Amino acid sequence: MSSDIYKDIILDYYRNPRNFGDLPDADVRVKDSNPLCGDVIEMQLKIGDGKISDIRFKGKGCAISQASASMLSELVKGKTLEEVKALGKADVLHLLGIDPGPTRIKCALLGLKVVKLAVYAHLGQTVTEEVKQLV
């Protein structure tokens, strides 16, 4: 009963998402959706000293989108905003441990897009085309 995409770790993060919920004293909150499938992710970031000091996410959608957002929230916690801006598709694939293919990769990248949107919003900077094209 194996499935290449749905490894135990992805299902575990889907069933028991880490950093799920609200951050009442968040400095920035950003929500975005994947127009193709309607998956929604909201990221709430607490920022201090140029770093993400705390993070929560909320969302609705498939296992790939929700699990990767949760994994990503763990990865970015403690990272500087510049480090987050430098993250890319390869980092998300590394977290998942699989390549979900050209269609489902959009699901996996939604969390990354939203966390980057939050960073750009906090810095008051214009979002790059590269970030807009993630999903």
Binding site for other proteins (CB under 8 A): 1, 3-6, 8, 11, 36-39, 60-64, 100, 104, 107
Considering the complex, what minimum distance in angstroms separates the CB of residue 6 from other proteins? 5
Beta carbon nearer to other proteins, 61 or 85: 61
State residue 24 phi and psi, 5-degree precision: -60, -35
Beta carbon nearer to other proteins, 67 or 119: 67
Beta carbon nearer to other proteins, 61 or 72: 61
- Helices 89-96 and 63-76: angle between axes, nearest 10 degrees: 110
Helices (H), the chain: 8-15, 63-76, 81-86, 89-96, 101-123, 129-132
Beta carbon nearer to other proteins, 62 or 123: 62
Considering the complex, what minimum distance in angstroms separates the CB of residue 57 from other proteins? 17
Contact 73, 18 (CB under 8 A): yes
Buried b (16+ CB within 10 A) or exposed e, 35-55: eebebbbbbbbbbeeebbebb
Beta carbon nearer to other proteins, 51 or 104: 104
Considering the complex, what minimum distance in angstroms separates the CB of residue 101 from other proteins? 8
Considering the complex, what minimum distance in angstroms separates the CB of residue 87 from other proteins? 24
Contact 23, 55 (CB under 8 A): yes
Considering the complex, what minimum distance in angstroms separates the CB of residue 108 from other proteins? 11
